[in-house]
């Protein structure tokens, strides 16, 4: 091998690098070369190499010696345009099965691949990311609490980042709000079925609008979750509704108080929880001074009104000077506030709604009751038969029915006091009891079809009609018309139906009905409202409340008619008329005689009654106590003997006599016996009493006092 540098004229000069010409070199490799290769010394070893066009010597990898076995990686980058073999990207996705991508301002929706088969999910991801609101300018809104909130409609997700709102018309009624399948906040009335709302949309809530007073009187939460299917939601809504979980007892009740202080009519509500399908709603407790109720009642044609923020769940009527009840007036076909009169009983039905703000409401009772037992029975029938159409009652949980006795003489704000039930409880507790919503209405006003002209003649119990007076249809109801001579009742004239000429229409159900077409007057038989007879036939049915019966009459079986009808008692067969006190009544600082709220019975015209009374009272020597016996009109005479008046006396009831007692400061029982003669029309026999001397001390007529009248004729 020749070492060193040799230069000659025919040396190869490549970019300033001199390489020896082949002819000058010896001991060089003579094999393995390709055309154009040159000898290069790599690490002192002559090696065939290729000279590139740029003058760089390129050596085969295998010819390189001393190279490392591994090359550890080092961080480095490459510009995007130097990367080869990269895929092609697009900024849109083609719609297909299970894929539906679109975007609009403020929300993005992405479908779920299972939605076409299940319509799931539908509902809100949670209720904390959004907030609902309504205003008295009739605008309903839902807005994100933070950046956004999410809900689904039939598997399509909506991500809302802005406030949605919708208005409702200035018309009384219940309005529902929901997101439809396009994610648009929409409202509807109750004319849309709840099934459609639940199955096809994401419900948000509802409001009840009182157009007369321009205010929202009720609202509820409906943002149910996505984990519950629409079918399950619909099933639970229809069959279960809102359910009681725990708590919510009515408490701090002073039952059977005197009615002198507000605490005799108020109550507290304990902390508790209810569940409205998948929404579990907990509430804190209140006291009887902080608890307020919204009390609902119907007005006119059945639109709802309410009294707000009252401590007692009742409706006080300043015209009556006592509580009122919600009565359906059949004559005017409208709802009204009615006077129960002094000493009678009304009900209040307390509910928990799913509203998150002041969800305790009460619905005003729809009847007035003569005594405590009737009121307790009425609590059971009213809670099942309440006419609550138009309210979202499936979102309510009944807590209890409270019995109130009202009297304008009671000194508290509502002239009322709470009374204990027949079991000695402060109220009728419905929290854990299964009610029967399918029970038929016990109150005639709660029936449907009241305006239909299909009632039998026996239902025409027309107050105010006289003998031979025709019933005239005024377009909505039968009213007393002109009086017709008995001789002309069966005359065949244009405005009357002659049963000898006009035929009866037979229907497939076997009933017979008279059809009035062009005739404006239906004069079939003379109507006597006093005796409840039509054409001499007594049409009075047997009713538990005594409807159709005169005082002293008893049901008598008529084998011909196959029914019970009012009949004569035969004198001594009449059960005794009883009235008793179930609670004390206190009076002070008054010498004015007033009716005892409990000691009164109805007496019949011309009746002769044996009277037995036991008055249990207490008072100090001053003020003492006095009592007297009266009828409402001063009609009749009472021959009486008592333990403090030893001589027999005739008391003219029109000018009642007072009987001072001896006040001993402890309970005293006065046994009183006599005979009552009722000279005129039917009346009410009552006990009145007061202090003998006006004094701040209390005179009390105690529970256990009673009167009993037995008719002798």
pLDDT at 5 (0 to 100): 43
- Assess contact for 155 and 174: CB atoms under 8 A: no
pLDDT at 346 (0 to 100): 96
Residue 59 has pLDDT above 90, yes or no: no
Q: Is the dihedral of CA 596, 600, 605, 609 positive or negative?
A: negative
Residue 147 tokens, joined: 């950046």
Taking the CB of residue 137, how many other CB atoms lie within 10 A of it?
7
3-state secondary structure of 133: strand
Phi-psi region of 52 (alpha: psi -120 to 50; beta: other; left: phi over 0): beta
CATH topology of domain 101-239: Triple-stranded beta-helix (2.60.520)
Which residues fall within 8 angstroms of residue 319, CB to CB, at 6 or more apart? Answer: none
Winning range, highest mean pLDDT, from 234-238, 378-382, 470-474? 378-382
Which residues fall within 8 angstroms of residue 19, CB to CB, at 6 or more apart? Answer: 11, 12, 13, 38, 39, 40
Sequence-distant contacts of 117-121: CB under 8 A, at least 24 apart: 118/155, 118/229, 119/154, 119/155, 119/199, 119/230, 120/152, 120/154, 120/155, 120/226, 120/229, 120/230, 121/152, 121/155, 121/226, 121/227, 121/229
Q: What is the pLDDT of residues 543-588, one digit of tens each?
A: 444 555 565 566 665 555 555 566 554 444 456 778 888 889 999 8
Taking the CB of residue 262, how many other CB atoms lie within 10 A of it?
17
pLDDT at 34 (0 to 100): 67
3-state secondary structure of 82: helix
Residue 253 has pLDDT above 90, yes or no: yes
Per residue, the 3-state secondary structure of 5-16, as one string, reads: CCCCCCCEEECC
Q: What separation in angstroms does the CA of 387 have from each of 222, 327, 643?
A: 23, 11, 52
- Assess contact for 470 and 464: CB atoms under 8 A: no
Q: What is the pLDDT of residues 295-325, one digit of tens each?
A: 999 999 888 898 887 889 999 999 999 999 9
pLDDT at 682 (0 to 100): 81
pLDDT at 419 (0 to 100): 95
pLDDT at 150 (0 to 100): 94
Measured at the alpha carbon of residue 381, what is the angle toward residues 390 and 209, in degrees to the nearest 5?
15
Residue 131 has pLDDT above 50, yes or no: yes
Provide mean pLDDT across the span 19-36.
58
- Assess contact for 595 and 686: CB atoms under 8 A: yes
Provide mean pLDDT across the span 371-392.
80
Burial status of residue 194 (CB atoms within 10 A of its CB: 0-12, 13-18, 19 or more): middle
- Assess contact for 106 and 184: CB atoms under 8 A: no
pTM: 0.50
Residue located via tokens 């002094």: 342
Q: What separation in angstroms does the CA of 506 have from each of 509, 511, 514?
A: 8, 6, 9
pLDDT at 167 (0 to 100): 95
Q: Which helix (H) or strand (E) holds 242?
A: strand 242-247
Residue 266 tokens, joined: 């108020």
How far, in Å, CA of 59 to CA of 38, rounded?
A: 10
Q: What separation in angstroms does the CA of 398 have from each of 13, 430, 431, 521?
A: 110, 6, 6, 48
Provide mean pLDDT across the span 536-541.
49
**What is the DSSP secondary-structure string of 456-525?**
-GGG---TT--TTEEEEE-SSSEEEEEE--GGGTT---TTS--TTTSPPEE-TTS-EE---SS-SEE-SS
Q: What is the pLDDT of residues 72-85, one digit of tens each?
A: 778 888 888 888 88
- Assess contact for 337 and 327: CB atoms under 8 A: yes
Q: Where are the domains of the chain?
A: 12-63, 101-239, 243-446, 457-539, 577-711
Provide mean pLDDT across the span 131-153.
93
Mean pLDDT score of the chain, rounded to an integer? 74
Q: Give the rounded distance of the alpha carbon of 45 from its chain centre.
A: 104
How far, in Å, CA of 328 to CA of 333, rounded?
A: 7
- Assess contact for 540 and 558: CB atoms under 8 A: no
pLDDT higher for 101 or 28?
28
Taking the CB of residue 5, how many other CB atoms lie within 10 A of it?
7
Q: What is the pLDDT of residues 598-608, one digit of tens each?
A: 998 888 888 88
Q: How many helices (H) and strands (E) does the chain have?
A: 4, 55
Provide mean pLDDT across the span 91-112.
48
3-state secondary structure of 173: strand
Phi-psi region of 571 (alpha: psi -120 to 50; beta: other; left: phi over 0): left
Residue 474 tokens, joined: 């005024």
pLDDT higher for 640 or 149?
149
**What is the DSSP secondary-structure string of 322-372?**
EE-EEEEETTTTEEEEE---TT-EEEEEEEE-S-SSS-EEEEE-S--BSSH
How far, in Å, CA of 46 to CA of 63, rounded?
A: 11
Q: What separation in angstroms does the CA of 106 have from each of 186, 205, 486?
A: 17, 22, 82
Q: What percent of the chain has pLDDT over 70?
A: 61
pLDDT higher for 658 or 628?
628
Residue 57 has pLDDT above 50, yes or no: yes
How far, in Å, CA of 582 to CA of 124, rounded?
A: 54
Residue 461 has pLDDT above 50, yes or no: no
pLDDT higher for 387 or 327?
327
- Which residues in 88-163 belong to E strands, given as ranges? 101-104, 107-111, 123-124, 130-135, 139-144, 149-153, 156-160
Cis geometry, peptide bond prior to residue 121 (ω within 30 degrees of 0): yes
Q: How many residues are listed for the chain in this entry?
A: 713
Sequence-distant contacts of 283-291: CB under 8 A, at least 24 apart: 283/248, 283/352, 283/359, 285/247, 287/252, 288/251, 288/252, 288/253, 288/263, 291/266, 291/267, 291/360
3-state secondary structure of 530: coil
pLDDT higher for 675 or 57?
675
Which residues fall within 8 angstroms of residue 2, CB to CB, at 6 or more apart? Answer: 24, 25, 26, 27
Taking the CB of residue 118, how many other CB atoms lie within 10 A of it?
14
422 falls in which pLDDT band (50, 70, 90)? confident
How far, in Å, CA of 32 to CA of 37, rounded?
A: 10
How far, in Å, CA of 37 to CA of 50, rounded?
A: 5
Q: What is the pLDDT of residues 256-268, one digit of tens each?
A: 999 999 999 999 9
Measured at the alpha carbon of residue 247, what is the angle toward residues 384 and 388, in degrees to the nearest 5?
25
Pair type for strands 683-690 and 626-631 = antiparallel
Per residue, the 3-state secondary structure of 368-402, as one string, reads: CECCHHHHHHHHHHHHHHCCCCCCCHHHCEEEEEE
CATH topology of domain 577-711: Jelly Rolls (2.60.120)
Q: What is the pLDDT of residues 493-520, one digit of tens each?
A: 444 444 444 444 433 444 444 444 433 3
How far, in Å, CA of 426 to CA of 263, rounded?
A: 13
How far, in Å, CA of 605 to CA of 609, rounded?
A: 11
Q: How far apart are the first and last CA of the chain?
A: 164
pLDDT at 574 (0 to 100): 53
Q: What is the DSSP letter of 655?
A: G
């Amino acid at each position: 091998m020749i070492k060193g540098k040799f230069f000659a004229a025919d040396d190869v000069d490549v970019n300033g690098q001199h390489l020896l010409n082949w002819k000058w070199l010896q001991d060089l490799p003579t094999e393995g070369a390709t055309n154009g290769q040159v000898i290069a010394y790599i690490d002192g070893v002559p090696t065939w190499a290729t000279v590139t066009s740029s003058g760089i010597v390129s050596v085969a990898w295998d010819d390189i010696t001393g190279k490392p076995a591994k090359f550890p990686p080092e961080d480095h980058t490459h510009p995007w345009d130097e990367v080869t073999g990269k895929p092609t990207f697009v900024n849109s996705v083609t719609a297909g099965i299970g894929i539906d991508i679109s975007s609009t301002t403020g929300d993005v929706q992405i479908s779920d691949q299972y939605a076409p088969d299940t319509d799931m999910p539908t509902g809100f991801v949670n209720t904390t990311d959004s907030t609902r609101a309504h205003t008295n300018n009739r605008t309903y809104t839902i807005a994100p609490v933070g950046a956004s909130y999410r809900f689904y409609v039939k598997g399509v997700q909506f991500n809302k980042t802005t406030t949605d709102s919708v208005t409702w018309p200035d018309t009384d009624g219940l309005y529902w709000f929901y997101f439809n399948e396009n994610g648009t906040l929409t409202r509807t009335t109750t004319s849309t079925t709840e099934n459609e709302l639940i199955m096809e949309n994401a419900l948000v809530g509802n409001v009840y609008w009182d157009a007369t007073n321009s205010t929202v009187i009720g609202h509820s939460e409906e943002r149910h979750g996505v984990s519950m299917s629409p079918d399950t939601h619909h099933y639970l809504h229809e069959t279960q509704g809102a359910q009681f979980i725990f708590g919510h007892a009515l408490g701090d009740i002073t039952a059977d108080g005197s009615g002198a202080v507000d605490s005799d009519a108020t109550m507290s509500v304990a902390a508790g929880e209810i569940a409205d399908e998948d929404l579990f709603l907990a509430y804190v407790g209140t006291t009887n001074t902080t608890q307020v109720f919204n009390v609902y009642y119907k007005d006119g044609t059945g639109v709802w009104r309410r009294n707000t923020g009252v401590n007692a769940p009742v409706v006080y009527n300043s015209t009556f000077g006592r509580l009122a009840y919600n009565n359906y007036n059949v004559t005017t076909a409208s709802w009204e506030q009615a006077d129960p009169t002094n000493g009678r009983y009304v009900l209040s039905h307390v509910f928990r709604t799913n509203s998150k703000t002041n969800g305790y409401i009460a619905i005003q009772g729809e009847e007035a009751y003569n005594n405590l037992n009737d009121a307790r029975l009425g609590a059971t029938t009213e809670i099942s038969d309440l006419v609550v159409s138009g309210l979202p009652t499936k979102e309510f949980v009944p807590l209890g029915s409270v019995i109130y006795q009202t009297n304008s003489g009671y000194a508290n704000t509502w002239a009322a006091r709470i009374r204990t039930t027949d079991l000695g409880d402060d109220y009728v507790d419905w929290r854990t009891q299964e009610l029967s919503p399918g029970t038929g209405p016990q109150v005639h006003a709660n029936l449907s079809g009241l305006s239909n002209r299909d009632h039998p003649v026996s239902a025409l119990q027309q107050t105010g009609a006289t003998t031979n007076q025709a019933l005239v249809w005024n377009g909505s109801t039968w009213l007393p018309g002109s009086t017709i001579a008995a001789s002309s009742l069966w005359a065949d004239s244009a405005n009357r139906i002659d049963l000898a000429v006009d035929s009866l229409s037979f229907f497939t159900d076997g009933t017979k009905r008279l059809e009035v077409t062009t005739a404006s007057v239906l004069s079939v038989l003379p109507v006597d409202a006093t005796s409840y007879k039509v054409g001499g036939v007594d049409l009075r049915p047997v009713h538990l409340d005594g409807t159709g019966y005169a005082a002293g009459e008893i049901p008598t079986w008529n084998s011909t008619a196959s029914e019970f009808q009012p009949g004569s008692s035969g004198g001594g067969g009449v059960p005794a008329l009883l009235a008793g006190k179930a609670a004390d009544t206190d009076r002070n600082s008054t010498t004015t005689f007033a009716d005892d709220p409990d000691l009164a019975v109805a007496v019949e015209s011309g009746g002769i009654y044996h009277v037995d009374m036991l008055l249990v009272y207490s008072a100090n020597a001053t003020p003492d106590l006095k009592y007297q016996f009266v009828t409402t009109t001063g009609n009749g005479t009472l021959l009486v003997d008592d333990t403090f008046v030893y001589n027999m006396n005739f008391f003219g009831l029109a000018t009642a006599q007072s009987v001072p007692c001896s006040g001993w400061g402890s309970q005293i029982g006065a046994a009183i016996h006599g005979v009552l003669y009722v000279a005129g029309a039917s009346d009410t026999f009552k006990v009145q009493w007061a202090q003998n001397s006006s004094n701040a001390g209390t005179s009390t007529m105690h529970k256990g006092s009673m009167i009993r009248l037995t008719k002798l004729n």
